[in-house]
Structure 1
């Protein structure tokens, strides 16, 4: 029998040592990494309840951190993270600080590489901006692995379905008049999108109720409708509003309370007939575990770039599936389509057309469902427009 060690002494495995080199089973090495900071301009400024409450300014652009990874054997992967209003340059700078740690590593060792990258910058924490920067690397590595296998990422993970129910949010912001909201809803439904989410959280809740009633009348009783308060209510307002809104047969009420109010969300989930959804603003597996442990949600809404990538997202899914929770990730349909397709129970994916210009490829929507593309990996090719919107970029290794 061939000596696979070639006479070398193997180091003992220590799961706490994230810096161990790739072992003898290594089949490839990361040769180069390109990081890009890209600003996506929106056609018009948009506002939700956070803006009306004076907590944030209107959203005019989105900062993206793109990570492109190449290997010695010629495989490539693309991943991205993002930030709204603030944090984009910080993500980019942190990614630049830790990128060298991945050069020369086996790209197949995704879990170990996540640990190595997070510990390379652990002095700024293991959640938030630091792990959002790592998400771009992690997603690129999963994309690369699926491309190497010549499989769509959903199939690599083990798909339960080849299409996922989808709903549109980008036409329901508070900065839009109710007539504009109706017009955009009609366009979305005509495109084949199957459900609508409407922003709420006005200083005067009666305005919200009138808008919900108008939208429900516009779309009819059979189109699923959800609302999103963006964390702007207190417990009393959320309970009173939720009870009045039960007449509209809502699919869920999203972020009625502060993202970290696990007990308050649990009380609403217990007391209201309408399901409760939250999780998009949380940035770690541990924070999502608190939602799950407190029975705070019916729909859990992790965001893969915000929690640190696909690796931690899958851990959240395992916890959620064990508790029989429903899944409806936030934003990033290009990534979340594959991840929701691999979830056990029927999920939702959020449709935003904003990022389409970044890619040469388009996702197909038909009869209320988004179709998993049959292209390898995430099925994405970066566009020339993405390059034109690039503010900064840097290359590590040989790219």
Structure 2
């Protein structure tokens, strides 16, 4: 058994003395919850704020309604965690248009809470980190900062086991249906939209999603008709209104879109309009998908309680990480909902592979420059690799795009 000394060090069964502040907060207070079952401890971490520039400004319906400006970059919060035994894990969160510096600042404030903790105790660490910043809430920016830590801990646990994360969780499949979004934004002319769809399908993608929500609905219908004719009736096609329709418009557009055999209509209404989504879902043959903008399991639970979605679209970095995603996935399965996680395919491939019902994963090529590895896509599906954990490492380009860093522990 290990012995804890008055100076805070502890000696394990091999006679090795370790340092650490297990169970302590940023101020070094708290009670240790580790004992002889603790075989490793977190002794270092690095935070990186990375700004990814987009090749061209991106517009969806929120831009056309004047609520947002075109998106030119995505801010990422990367967390790299290391342990006394030399293991490492990587996780990330992100923010579009605004919020990136805030995520980094909050993650930096609570960083010391991890030092000395057993990295296997992921659920307890998540709770500890949330309570460290409880005054700013348990959703939104605060838990998105926690998510990066949580994802890194799951990556580390899977690497320790020598397994891809999906296999650690218990995979139901080794590949997942995937659809492309990045080629279908509203700023894209129709001819280019068709070219992008054809290229995505030729590259092995299984489905195509395009943005709708133009102030003139006839423009949306013409684009959907053109894409459907171009790709054929047998190719899965989805549309996404990015919350920009009101209830009457969503009903009219939903009925007008029925002939195109869509897999789903995404975010037809405000993300928090559970009753409106439920009424719409009940009135259409086309499934309704939503959830990507929600920032907690509790918010998703409200959607499910109202029967507001046929397809639920959680985003692990947005709802607090993998620990929270797994809770939501269990609830979604109980209600027999389809699952199509939003963005971050490097994370969501693993989580979708572990979902019992056949899911979808969203393909964005935007993030590829950040990593040394590429995901394999063929025959309409995204495939798991044999690489342990998430199977990703940060590229030199990601390091070059880093705008702020913070280190804690033995490297600090």
Question: Normalising by structure 1, what TM-score?
Answer: 0.96
Alignment partner, residue 21 of structure 2 = none
Measured against aligned partners, the alpha-carbon deviations of 1:14-45 in whole angstroms (never above 9, x if no partner) come to: xxxx9542321211100001000000000000
State the distance in 1 between where 2:34 and 2:66 align. 53
3-state SS, counterpart of residue 332 of structure 2: helix
Contact residue 91 and residue 129 of structure 1 kept, 8 A: yes
State the distance in 1 between where 2:408 and 2:162 align. 26
3-state SS, counterpart of residue 76 of structure 2: strand
State the distance in 2 between where 1:285 and 1:241 align. 29
Alignment partner, residue 14 of structure 1 = none
Pairing partner for 2:389 from 377, 381, 396: 377
Pairing partner for 2:32 from 21, 46, 50: 21
Contact residue 98 and residue 117 of structure 1 kept, 8 A: yes
Structure 1 residue 226 corresponds to structure 2 residue 238 = yes
Distance change >3 Å, CA 105–CA 242, structure 1 → 2? same
Per-residue deviation, 1:5: 8.1
Structure 1 residue 108 corresponds to structure 2 residue 116 = no
* Superposition pairs of residues 332-343 of structure 1, within 5 angstroms: 332-343=344-355
Structure 1 residue 194 corresponds to structure 2 residue 206 = yes
Pairing partner for 2:83 from 54, 58, 71: 71
Unmatched segments (≥5 aa) in structure 2: 6-28
Alignment partner, residue 149 of structure 1 = 161
* Superposition pairs of residues 2-21 of structure 1, within 5 angstroms: 20-21=31-32
Measured against aligned partners, the alpha-carbon deviations of 1:114-151 in whole angstroms (never above 9, x if no partner) come to: 00000000100010000000010000000000000000
Per-residue deviation, 1:179: 0.6
Q: How many residues align?
A: 387
Per-residue deviation, 1:7: 11
Alignment partner, residue 172 of structure 2 = 160
Structure 1 residue 274 corresponds to structure 2 residue 274 = no
Alignment partner, residue 320 of structure 1 = 332
Alignment partner, residue 405 of structure 2 = 393
Pairing partner for 1:258 from 270, 290, 307: 270
Contact residue 151 and residue 377 of structure 1 kept, 8 A: yes
3-state SS, counterpart of residue 354 of structure 1: coil
State the distance in 1 between where 2:136 and 2:270 align. 24
Distance change >3 Å, CA 7–CA 281, structure 1 → 2? closer
3-state SS, counterpart of residue 393 of structure 1: strand
Per-residue deviation, 1:244: 1.0
Per-residue deviation, 1:398: 1.5
Q: Name segments (4+ residues, structure 1) moved above 3 Å.
A: 4-8
State the distance in 1 between where 2:3 and 2:98 align. 51
Alignment partner, residue 31 of structure 1 = 43
Question: Normalising by structure 2, what TM-score?
Answer: 0.93
State the distance in 2 between where 1:239 and 1:286 align. 27
Alignment partner, residue 23 of structure 2 = none
State the distance in 1 between where 2:276 and 2:308 align. 8
State the distance in 2 between where 1:296 and 1:20 align. 42
Measured against aligned partners, the alpha-carbon deviations of 1:251-288 in whole angstroms (never above 9, x if no partner) come to: 00000000000000000111100000000000001000
Alignment partner, residue 345 of structure 1 = 357
Alignment partner, residue 138 of structure 2 = 126
Alignment partner, residue 181 of structure 1 = 193
State the distance in 1 between where 2:385 and 2:54 align. 26
